[in-house]
Amino acid sequence: MADLTLNHLDGAEASNVFEQVFRIYALVYADPLYSQTDADRAEFVTRAARHFKQPGFDLTCAWMGDQMIGFAYGFAIQPGSGWWDGIEPSQTEAFLRETGGRTFAVIELAVVPESGVKDWGNGSSVHR
């Protein structure tokens, strides 16, 4: 079995592997637990295209040989984004103040169940 390798991509680079990201997303969320529809998958494509353009975007890809088996992506929360609007219980202004470098939001994380390495902690490896 090939070793697990990870690489980080920015938004422009992520667009080059989007087909593989979408394949993994569709495989993972095909599980009946998630009740995903074609409309949900189409929304992911639209949402991901928007996310890939966010400042501070990072996609971490997990590879076994030349096969992508998982990914995680997110971005830095920007000032004025409204990310914390409605948080309960209420927080201090200092807690709510984003700088564009203070908070990284993990938006999506998926590992192919059939990769044979699901229990190796690859989800947490991709998350780091």
pLDDT tens for each residue of 19-34:
999 999 999 999 899 9
Number of neighbours of residue 89 by Cβ within 10 angstroms: 4
Q: What fold characterizes domain 4-127?
A: Aminopeptidase (3.40.630)
Q: What is the pLDDT of residues 61-102, one digit of tens each?
A: 999 999 999 999 999 999 999 999 999 999 999 999 999 999
pTM over 0.95: no
